[in-house]
């Protein structure tokens, strides 16, 4: 049975190399610029003040940039679909590889589901009469059929686009990212024309608690640069360049979030931002004195939803495909579409989850953000650890991009990434400034209970190394 599963998973399991430089960068940047910048910016300013929020975002960008450097080197050295899956398999063995892969997949899936809920939430701003045909309440939030169908139908469409081929998904991503950048330019122009430095006061509020309240959302906001490693087998560019794009995407996302904070805070006094329904959209309207411009910003928010949704659906499906190819998940997830050469079954599985998410209402927005973040950080910790391990154990490994040089500089970067990510993870624990509430922990726990079912099916005693995947498949065949 295991032999049949593995042979089916390995059958014709090759992806098409059709993505170029811009396609890969658009996937990574677009994944990070989702909907959070539209709905969360007002809360950041209220929690930490304008400059407090800016400093927290820069600090988060630095942390993600250090982690991104480890990804850059490892991606250039192992340009295979699945990213973390391959890094950890070589450096720490199959079980740790599964844990890291399952962690980042969980983060991706929660954000894909988040975008499916965020889309109707945004559409409601444009169409106030969208809420029709009440269904049920979830955590005090009334769910309407028409509202939920907006997200559910979008889930079907985006999943279909991804099944049709990564090139089509890449073209769609490029178009939407360009529109998103245009919205950013308009927001900056509006800030210079209609904004005021006086509105940015107070610069700091909330003390350290306010700072950490912003910092804690960083994993959710920046997850996505690691989509570039997931698509490494579909990128037709040199391995060294793939690694560089990871870091460039993090830098661009940091600039975007800082820009959003500064332009929004310049538009209105802090008390008005606190009362705004969707602060960034109301800020755009205030900058130009036009409700139409607020709707234009919402269109930018929808663009952000689509770019993040598209990228992370792609990333999660490639991870599940890679795990199935290694025998860690059922071979069903490793099946490629016979015509489009995409992991169609994995895409349909994640698409089904995003289809269902809107039917749980707006309460799911916060729960999904909080439940996915710890898993994301766990994956980042493990990648940083394996970066250090491989630097020590395999100093002569082919590294087309070597961060920090050949000496101890690389080890310093790797150790710094481990320490920073552990510190970030600690913020979610009970009694910490940004401790999670019970519902997110329940979602987090359910994902990991499911993961344990697959983890314990992986044979013990398989040592890490370049051929670890081959030895794992042999062990599964011999069961």
- Residue 322: which of 120, 91, 80, 150 has the closest Cα? 80
- Specify the pTM: 0.81
Average confidence (pLDDT) over 236-247: 70
The DSSP call for residue 235 is B
Least confidently predicted of 13-17, 249-253, 294-298, 465-469: 13-17
Residue 232 pLDDT grade (very low, low, confident, very high; cuts 50, 70, 90): low
Beta partners for 138?
Answer: 141
Note the pLDDT tens digit of each residue in 323-341: 888 778 888 887 887 777 7
**Bond prior to 153 in cis (omega within 30° of 0):** no
> In terms of pLDDT, which residue wins out, 105 or 467?
105
User: Looking at the predicted structure, is the pLDDT value of residue 124 above 50?
Assistant: yes
Report yes or no: 70 and 413 within 8 Å, Cβ to Cβ.
yes
The residue-averaged pLDDT of 463-478 equals: 72
Which range (51-60, 65-74, 337-346, 466-475) has the least confidence? 466-475
Per-residue pLDDT of 136-192, as tens digits, reads 887 777 888 888 898 899 899 888 888 876 555 566 667 777 888 888 888 899 888
CA 138 → CA 170, 285, 358, 441, distances in Å? 36, 32, 11, 17
Can you identify the CATH homologous superfamily of domain 2-10+19-477?
Answer: Amino acid/polyamine transporter I (1.20.1740.10)
Tokens of 25: 């960068």
| pLDDT tens digit sequence for 280-310 | 888 888 888 888 888 888 888 787 777 777 7
Residue 469, pLDDT above cutoff 90: no
284: left (phi over 0), alpha (psi -120 to 50) or beta: alpha
Give the number of other CB atoms < 10 A from CB of residue 118.
Answer: 30
How far is 366 from 363, CA to CA, in rounded Å?
6
In order of 201, 302, 359, the CA distances from 150 in angstroms are: 38, 12, 10
- Cα(196)–Cα(77) distance, rounded to whole angstroms? 48
């Amino acid at each position: 049975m295991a032999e049949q599963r593995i042979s089916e998973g390995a059958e014709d399991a090759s992806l098409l190399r059709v993505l170029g430089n811009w396609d890969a960068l658009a996937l990574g940047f677009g994944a990070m610029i989702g909907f959070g910048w539209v709905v969360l910016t007002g809360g950041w300013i209220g929690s930490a003040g304008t400059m407090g929020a800016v400093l927290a975002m820069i600090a988060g960008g630095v942390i993600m940039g250090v982690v991104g450097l480890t990804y850059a080197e490892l991606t250039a050295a192992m340009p295979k679909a699945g990213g973390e899956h391959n890094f950890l398999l070589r450096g720490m063995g199959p079980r740790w590889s599964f844990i890291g892969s399952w962690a980042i997949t969980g983060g991706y899936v929660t954000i894909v589901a988040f975008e499916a809920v965020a889309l109707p939430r945004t559409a409601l701003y444009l169409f106030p009469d969208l809420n029709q045909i009440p269904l049920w309440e979830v955590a005090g939030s009334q769910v309407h059929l028409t509202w939920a169908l907006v997200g559910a139908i979008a889930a079907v469409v985006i999943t279909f686009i991804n099944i049709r081929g990564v090139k089509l998904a890449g073209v769609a991503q490029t178009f939407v990212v360009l529109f998103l950048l245009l919205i950013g330019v308009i927001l900056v122009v509006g800030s210079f024309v209609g904004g005021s430095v006086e509105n940015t006061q107070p610069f700091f509020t909330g003390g350290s608690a306010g700072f950490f309240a912003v910092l804690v959302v960083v994993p959710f906001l920046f997850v996505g640069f690691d989509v570039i490693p997931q698509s490494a087998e579909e990128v037709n560019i040199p391995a060294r360049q793939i690694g560089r794009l990871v870091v460039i995407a993090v830098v661009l996302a940091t600039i975007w979030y800082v820009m959003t904070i500064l332009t929004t805070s310049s538009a209105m006094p802090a008390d008005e931002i606190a009362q705004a329904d969707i602060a960034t959209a109301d800020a755009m309207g205030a900058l130009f004195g036009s409700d139409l411009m607020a709707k234009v910003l919402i269109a930018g928010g929808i663009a952000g939803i689509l770019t993040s949704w598209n990228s992370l659906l792609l990333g999660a499906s490639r991870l599940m495909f890679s795990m199935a190819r290694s025998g860690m998940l059922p071979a069903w997830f490793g099946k490629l579409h016979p015509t489009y050469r995409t992991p169609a079954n994995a895409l349909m599985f994640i698409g089904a989850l995003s289809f269902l998410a809107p039917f749980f209402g707006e309460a799911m927005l916060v729960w999904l953000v909080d439940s996915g973040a710890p898993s994301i950080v766990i994956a980042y910790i493990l990648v940083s650890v394996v970066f250090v391990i491989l630097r020590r154990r395999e100093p002569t490994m082919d590294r087309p991009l070597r961060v920090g040089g050949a000496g101890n500089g690389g080890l310093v970067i790797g150790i710094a990434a481990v320490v920073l990510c552990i510190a970030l993870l600690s913020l979610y624990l009970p009694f910490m400034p940004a401790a999670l509430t019970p519902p997110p922990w329940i979602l987090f726990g359910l994902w990991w209970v499911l993961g344990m079912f697959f983890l314990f099916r992986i044979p013990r005693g398989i040592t890490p190394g370049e051929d670890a995947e081959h030895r794992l498949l042999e062990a599964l065949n011999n069961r």
